[in-house]
Amino acid sequence: MQKVLLVWPEKCTGCRVCELACSWEHERVFSPALSRIQVVSWKREGVDVPMVCQQCQTALCMEACTARAIDRDPETGAVLVDARRCIGCHMCVLACPFGGPAIHPETGKIIKCDLCGGSPRCAGMCPVGAIEYVRADRVGLARKRASLGYLARYLDLAAKEG
Protein backbone atom coordinates (compact mmCIF):
# COMPACT_ATOMS: atom_id res chain seq x y z
CA MET A 1 0.00 0.00 0.00
CA GLN A 2 1.37 3.38 -1.00
CA LYS A 3 1.75 6.14 1.55
CA VAL A 4 1.43 9.93 1.35
CA LEU A 5 2.23 12.96 3.45
CA LEU A 6 -0.78 14.16 5.43
CA VAL A 7 -0.47 17.78 6.56
CA TRP A 8 -2.42 19.15 9.53
CA PRO A 9 -2.20 22.95 9.13
CA GLU A 10 -3.98 23.53 12.44
CA LYS A 11 -1.08 21.82 14.27
CA CYS A 12 1.73 23.67 12.50
CA THR A 13 3.58 26.19 14.69
CA GLY A 14 5.71 27.62 11.88
CA CYS A 15 8.95 26.32 13.41
CA ARG A 16 10.21 25.28 9.95
CA VAL A 17 12.02 22.20 11.28
CA CYS A 18 10.51 20.30 8.33
CA GLU A 19 12.28 22.63 5.87
CA LEU A 20 15.61 22.22 7.65
CA ALA A 21 15.28 18.42 7.85
CA CYS A 22 14.47 18.28 4.14
CA SER A 23 17.29 20.53 2.99
CA TRP A 24 19.77 18.63 5.14
CA GLU A 25 18.59 15.28 3.75
CA HIS A 26 18.87 16.39 0.12
CA GLU A 27 21.56 19.08 0.09
CA ARG A 28 23.52 18.58 3.32
CA VAL A 29 22.92 22.21 4.33
CA PHE A 30 20.28 23.83 6.52
CA SER A 31 18.59 26.10 4.01
CA PRO A 32 14.82 26.54 3.61
CA ALA A 33 15.45 27.77 0.05
CA LEU A 34 16.74 24.29 -0.82
CA SER A 35 13.90 22.41 0.86
CA ARG A 36 11.31 20.38 -1.02
CA ILE A 37 8.68 21.44 1.55
CA GLN A 38 7.86 25.08 2.18
CA VAL A 39 6.00 26.56 5.13
CA VAL A 40 3.73 29.35 3.93
CA SER A 41 2.88 31.86 6.66
CA TRP A 42 0.01 34.27 7.00
CA LYS A 43 1.35 36.42 9.85
CA ARG A 44 -1.75 38.55 10.40
CA GLU A 45 -3.98 35.48 10.73
CA GLY A 46 -1.37 33.51 12.68
CA VAL A 47 -1.54 30.58 10.28
CA ASP A 48 1.35 28.48 8.97
CA VAL A 49 0.82 25.74 6.38
CA PRO A 50 3.47 23.26 5.23
CA MET A 51 3.14 22.93 1.44
CA VAL A 52 4.53 19.82 -0.22
CA CYS A 53 4.01 17.78 -3.37
CA GLN A 54 0.76 15.80 -3.19
CA GLN A 55 2.18 12.92 -5.31
CA CYS A 56 -0.98 13.18 -7.43
CA GLN A 57 -2.36 10.07 -9.08
CA THR A 58 -2.69 12.08 -12.28
CA ALA A 59 0.50 14.10 -12.00
CA LEU A 60 0.10 17.24 -14.11
CA CYS A 61 3.78 18.04 -13.57
CA MET A 62 4.72 14.75 -15.22
CA GLU A 63 2.34 15.35 -18.12
CA ALA A 64 3.76 18.85 -18.68
CA CYS A 65 7.40 17.77 -18.64
CA THR A 66 8.67 18.07 -22.21
CA ALA A 67 11.99 16.41 -21.33
CA ARG A 68 10.33 13.35 -19.78
CA ALA A 69 12.38 13.99 -16.65
CA ILE A 70 9.52 13.20 -14.27
CA ASP A 71 8.41 9.67 -13.51
CA ARG A 72 6.76 7.70 -10.72
CA ASP A 73 8.69 5.40 -8.40
CA PRO A 74 6.73 2.12 -8.53
CA GLU A 75 7.80 1.19 -5.00
CA THR A 76 6.96 4.39 -3.07
CA GLY A 77 4.55 6.01 -5.52
CA ALA A 78 6.58 9.23 -5.37
CA VAL A 79 6.64 11.41 -8.47
CA LEU A 80 10.38 11.90 -9.03
CA VAL A 81 12.48 14.34 -11.05
CA ASP A 82 15.59 13.07 -12.86
CA ALA A 83 17.88 16.12 -12.60
CA ARG A 84 20.10 14.77 -15.40
CA ARG A 85 17.16 14.92 -17.83
CA CYS A 86 15.57 18.13 -16.52
CA ILE A 87 16.17 21.03 -18.90
CA GLY A 88 14.90 23.68 -16.50
CA CYS A 89 11.94 24.77 -18.64
CA HIS A 90 9.75 25.03 -15.51
CA MET A 91 6.63 23.78 -17.30
CA CYS A 92 5.99 21.42 -14.37
CA VAL A 93 5.96 24.38 -11.97
CA LEU A 94 3.35 26.09 -14.10
CA ALA A 95 1.25 22.92 -14.41
CA CYS A 96 1.11 22.00 -10.72
CA PRO A 97 -1.94 23.46 -8.94
CA PHE A 98 -0.39 22.77 -5.50
CA GLY A 99 3.03 24.37 -5.85
CA GLY A 100 4.84 21.04 -5.46
CA PRO A 101 7.79 21.51 -7.82
CA ALA A 102 10.24 24.32 -7.03
CA ILE A 103 13.23 25.79 -8.82
CA HIS A 104 16.63 25.05 -7.31
CA PRO A 105 18.16 28.52 -6.76
CA GLU A 106 21.63 27.40 -7.87
CA THR A 107 20.99 24.97 -10.73
CA GLY A 108 17.71 26.33 -12.09
CA LYS A 109 16.44 22.76 -12.31
CA ILE A 110 13.39 21.37 -10.60
CA ILE A 111 13.35 19.97 -7.08
CA LYS A 112 10.32 18.37 -5.43
CA CYS A 113 9.43 15.97 -2.68
CA ASP A 114 10.62 12.42 -3.30
CA LEU A 115 9.28 11.09 0.02
CA CYS A 116 12.92 10.50 1.03
CA GLY A 117 12.75 7.06 -0.49
CA GLY A 118 9.88 6.03 1.78
CA SER A 119 10.98 7.66 5.05
CA PRO A 120 10.18 11.39 4.82
CA ARG A 121 12.43 13.36 7.15
CA CYS A 122 9.92 16.23 7.42
CA ALA A 123 7.33 13.93 9.00
CA GLY A 124 9.89 12.25 11.22
CA MET A 125 11.25 15.54 12.54
CA CYS A 126 8.03 17.54 12.99
CA PRO A 127 7.87 18.20 16.75
CA VAL A 128 4.09 18.69 16.83
CA GLY A 129 2.89 16.01 14.42
CA ALA A 130 1.69 18.47 11.78
CA ILE A 131 3.09 16.18 9.06
CA GLU A 132 2.39 12.46 9.02
CA TYR A 133 3.35 9.73 6.56
CA VAL A 134 0.23 7.57 6.27
CA ARG A 135 -1.33 4.99 4.01
CA ALA A 136 -3.04 6.76 1.13
CA ASP A 137 -6.36 5.06 1.86
CA ARG A 138 -6.38 6.51 5.43
CA VAL A 139 -6.21 10.19 4.39
CA GLY A 140 -9.95 10.59 3.76
CA LEU A 141 -10.87 8.93 7.04
CA ALA A 142 -8.38 11.03 9.01
CA ARG A 143 -9.75 14.25 7.49
CA LYS A 144 -13.35 13.22 8.22
CA ARG A 145 -12.53 12.44 11.85
CA ALA A 146 -10.76 15.80 12.25
CA SER A 147 -13.72 17.66 10.76
CA LEU A 148 -16.15 15.83 13.01
CA GLY A 149 -13.98 16.64 16.03
CA TYR A 150 -14.01 20.30 15.07
CA LEU A 151 -17.79 20.21 14.58
CA ALA A 152 -18.30 18.51 17.96
CA ARG A 153 -16.17 21.17 19.72
CA TYR A 154 -18.09 23.93 17.93
CA LEU A 155 -21.47 22.47 18.86
CA ASP A 156 -20.33 22.01 22.46
CA LEU A 157 -19.27 25.67 22.66
CA ALA A 158 -22.51 26.80 21.02
CA ALA A 159 -24.56 24.76 23.52
CA LYS A 160 -22.68 26.30 26.46
CA GLU A 161 -23.25 29.81 25.15
CA GLY A 162 -26.81 29.20 24.17
Domains of the chain: 3-136 (3.30.70.20)
Query: pTM of this prediction?
Result: 0.84
Summarize pLDDT for 44-62 with one digit per residue, the tens: 888 899 999 999 999 999 9
Mind listing the pLDDT tens digit for each residue in 63-104?
Answer: 999 999 999 999 999 999 999 999 999 999 999 999 999 999
Three-state SS at 8: coil
- Vertex 139 angle, CA 135 and 141, to 5°: 115
Please report which helix (H) or strand (E) contains residue 134, including its range. Answer: strand 131-135
Taking residues 107-117, report their average pLDDT: 97
